[in-house]
Amino acid sequence: MNPIDHNRAVVATREEIEPEAEPTRSGPIGWVQKMYERHPAQVLIVVSELALIAFFSLVSPYFLDLGNISVLLLDASVYILLALGLTFVIATGGIDLTPGFGMALTGVITALVMTNVGGPMWLAITAGVIGGILAGVALGTVNGFLVAKLNMQPMVATLAMMLVAWGAALSITGTASIPLNDYRAFLELGNGKTFGLTNAIYLCILAAIVAHVLLKHTLIGRYALAMGSNEEATRLSGVNVQRWKWRVYALAGMFTGLAGVLMASRLASGKPDVGQSYEMYAIAAAVLGGASLRGGKASVFGSVVGAILIATIRNGAVHMGVSDQSQKILLGVVVLVAVYLDVRRPAQEKA
């Protein structure tokens, strides 16, 4: 065979065996494609949120009004704080059902301490805020003791503590609210605005930054993800799994305490009957944002967007005239979708 013909045959054979590489897209589409490959859950939830915003803005001309956006973000702020705490718990492969009524209890403790501390106003407010946060940490610490030390199932243990928190909030107040109308400076947190947006969203931004740093750049975040991926391997590597799991639940309790403080400020009172179903919304927000109920995966950014998505659905439903009962059905479906997507993720990754 002619040497030239031989070389051509070799080249033709290589072209048949080695398929041509797909060209890499440049520009915004290429960037989105790369982001989707790395963080599919986060990209999907952002796209879903944008689609919801577009839909509700077409349905109601008032949806994109700055005042309504501020209300939406105020609603989302409590979900965000609760979802941030649950992000760490879910990362370990656990679950926490106390955030809803735990928020009610910590809000009541905030109001109780604030109204019973003498001295200047700033001292009472400071004591109330610290008391509410510490109450949340205490609740989370008890959860951690039950789960990590006594080796109880997280769902059963936290379900029992949810009822304890609810009963404690009702018992402390005698089922009545503790008014905080005289504490104007404190009420600015949940009702005041800066640059047209509610002050609560600035608290959430700060909390999200702290949570991201903790999850990605500190031992508690790394160990939480490691325990969720393979708890036995984490234990064999020398990590005190019991101690760090305990700390994770205490951290989640701290975020519950923050949510309770914010809710007390927003309602201008410590109300023992708030928070029903909030833990479900927070769990859905974290799972929609990429956290896996099997553990080992979590995203602070995804949890924040997931919480905003839940608030968007509720806000948009109000603009559409959907009844409160129907909203609960709709949000129940959202929770089911979140769990279904979590079940489907391993199959999609293997495919």
The residues near 304 (Cβ < 8 Å, ≥ 6 apart) are 80, 83, 84, 204, 208, 289
Q: What token pair was written down for 35?
A: 């982001």
Distance CA(329)–CA(346), nearest Å, equals: 27
Q: What is the DSSP string of 102-145?
A: HHHHHHHHHHHHHHH--S-HHHHHHHHHHHHHHHHHHHHHHHHI
pLDDT of residue 215: 95
Asked if residue 290 lies in contact with residue 300, where contact means CB atoms within 8 angstroms, the answer is no
Model confidence band, residue 67 (pLDDT cutoffs 50, 70, 90): confident
What does the pLDDT average to over 273-279?
A: 89
322 burial level (CB within 10 Å; 0-12, 13-18, 19+) = middle
Q: Across the chain, what does the average pLDDT equal?
A: 87
CA-based nearest residue to 255, from 285, 227, 293, 230: 285
At 341, the pLDDT band (50, 70, 90 cuts) reads confident
Q: Where are the alpha helices (H) located in the chain, listed in sequence order?
A: 3-17, 27-38, 40-59, 66-91, 99-116, 121-144, 154-173, 184-191, 199-217, 219-229, 231-236, 241-267, 278-288, 300-319, 324-350
For tokens 């926490």, the residue is: 96
Q: How do residues 96-116 score in pLDDT, each as one tens digit?
A: 999 999 999 999 999 999 999
Which of 5-14, 22-31, 93-102, 332-341: highest mean pLDDT? 93-102
| Class of residue 164 by CB neighbours under 10 A (exposed 0-12, middle 13-18, buried 19+) | middle
CA–CA separation, 276 and 104 (whole Å): 9
- pLDDT value of residue 179: 93
- How many whole angstroms separate alpha carbon 283 and alpha carbon 270? 24
Q: Looking at residue 35, what is its pLDDT?
A: 67
Q: What is the DSSP string of 195-236?
A: TTEEHHHHHHHHHHHHHHHHHHHSHHHHHHHHHHH-HHHHHH
